[in-house]
């Protein structure tokens, strides 16, 4: 009887951890222009990756943000985001990154991340929260595997999960 309980417990244990996986960050061949400060981490994206992700998002039927961010590639853009998505955004780039495509780019490994001590984070742990029926967005959390600190939280359309940027 004890071994049967242990066996059942062993099968149930990995279930909550199934939504987590480690994502390796790719080398960005273009200098990142958009820098997001989130909980002390700096997450940098290229405008080319942002525009490609917006195009993929619009292909899923979500036309909220358009197909291009309209940013000048010769400038740098610094923004600060906070945990959670219920806040006042100061410019139109903030909701695009936190509610639109930031989680997608991180899940695809297309980001350059530095911690508080300016050390490069080469991999992140992605945790997808359970999706409720009738909701088209998945809430995602990203953690630094070295210390389990959250480095980003945001939403991603569930239709975007298997999309490929094709930029490698």
Cα–Cα distance, 68 to 93 (Å, whole number): 11
The per-residue pLDDT for range 79-89, each reduced to its tens digit, is 988 776 556 77
* Tens digit of each residue's pLDDT (9 = 90 or more) over 112-140: 999 999 999 999 999 988 888 878 888 99
- Gyration radius from the chain CA atoms: 17
Condensed to tens digits (0 to 9), the pLDDT of residues 11-49 reads 444 434 346 889 999 988 889 999 999 989 999 999 999
What is the distance of C-alpha 18 from the center of its chain? 18
d(CA 100, CA 62): 9
* Burial class of residue 148 in the structure, from the number of CB atoms within 10 Å of its CB (0-12 exposed, 13-18 middle, 19+ buried): exposed
**Which residues are paired to 128 by β-bridges?**
140
| Contacts by residues 159-162 (CB-CB < 8 Å, ≥ 24 positions apart) | 159/60, 159/61, 159/62, 160/53, 160/56, 160/57, 160/60, 160/101, 160/104, 161/107
Both structure tokens of 69 = 């961010």
93 has pLDDT over 50: yes
């Amino acid at each position: 009887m004890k071994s049967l309980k242990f066996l059942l417990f062993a099968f149930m244990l990995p279930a909550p951890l199934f939504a987590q996986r480690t994502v390796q960050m790719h080398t960005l061949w273009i200098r990142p222009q958009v820098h997001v400060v989130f909980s002390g981490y700096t997450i940098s994206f290229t405008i080319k990756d942002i525009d490609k992700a917006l195009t993929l998002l619009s292909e899923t039927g979500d036309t909220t943000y358009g197909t291009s961010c309209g940013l000048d590639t010769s400038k740098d853009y610094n923004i600060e985001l906070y945990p959670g998505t219920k806040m006042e955004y100061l410019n139109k780039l903030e909701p695009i990154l936190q509610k639109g495509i930031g989680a997608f780019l991180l899940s695809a490994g297309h980001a350059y991340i530095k911690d508080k001590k300016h050390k490069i984070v080469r991999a992140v742990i992605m945790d997808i929260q359970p999706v409720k029926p009738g909701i088209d967005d998945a809430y995602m959390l990203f953690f630094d595997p070295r210390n389990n600190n959250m480095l980003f939280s945001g939403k991603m359309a569930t239709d975007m999960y298997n999309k490929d940027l094709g930029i490698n």
